[in-house]
Amino acid sequence: MRTTPFRFSHRITYADCTVGNHVYYGRYLEILEATRGAFFRHLGTSFLEWQNQGIVFPVVEVRLRYRGTARYDDDLIVELSVVTAERIRLDFGYRVLNSHEKVLIEGEIHHVCTSVADQIQRLPALLIDRLKPYLPAQD
């Protein structure tokens, strides 16, 4: 059984677009980052609060599949799903949909947990506990 993803809305700004009025491909990463930030705030601890505790989650891999395009002033829904939260790994799956529920982007972003000084460390137990409702069901 699949868990319900976290949903975040984003309206495309003029700055997101190229002269051809479609979202510049690199801007989608910024939209996904805004979604991840909103998700962490929803969980109760922002990135800055984790960083102040000496913990950061650097990106180690990104995969995106572009299946459609968004244009200026489009309303998008970004779905974030937790794929993995174990040991040092924290992986998210994303889908970006337009207002007609057409999938525009699918992707994954993989993170590791480190100290601010780049020393690998285990995910905090508090974070894993807060992620449990979003983790895939175990068979």
pLDDT digits (tens, 9 = 90+) for 97-107: 999 999 999 99
Residue 1: band (very low, low, confident or very high) from pLDDT cuts 50, 70, 90: very low
Other Cβ atoms closer than 10 A to 97:
19
Q: Model-level pTM greater than 0.85?
A: yes
pLDDT for position 85 = 96
CA distance readout (Å), 87 to 56, 111, 114, 131, 133: 14, 11, 11, 13, 18
Q: Is 124 a member of any domain?
A: yes
What's the CATH code of the domain at 81? 3.10.129.10
For residue 103, tell me if it sits in a domain. Answer: yes
Residue type at position 121: Q
| 106 assigned to some structural domain | yes
Tell me, what's the pLDDT at 138? 66
Alpha carbons 116 and 96: distance in angstroms, whole number? 30
Q: Is the pLDDT of residue 88 over 60?
A: yes
Give a yes or no: residue 98 inside a domain. Answer: yes
Q: Residue 139: inside a domain, yes or no?
A: no
Residue 127: enclosing H or E segment and its boundaries?
helix 125-131
Q: Is residue 60 part of a domain?
A: yes
pLDDT band at 139 (very low <50, low <70, confident <90, very high): low
What domain range includes position 33? 6-134
- Asked if residues 18 and 27 have their Cβ atoms less than 8 Å apart, the reply is no
Query: How many Cβ atoms sit within 10 Å of the Cβ of residue 65?
Result: 11
Total number of domains constituting the chain = 1
How far CA 48 is from CA of 9, 45, 56, in Å, comes to 22, 8, 9
**Interval 113-120 mean pLDDT:** 96
pLDDT digits (tens, 9 = 90+) for 36-52: 999 999 999 999 999 99
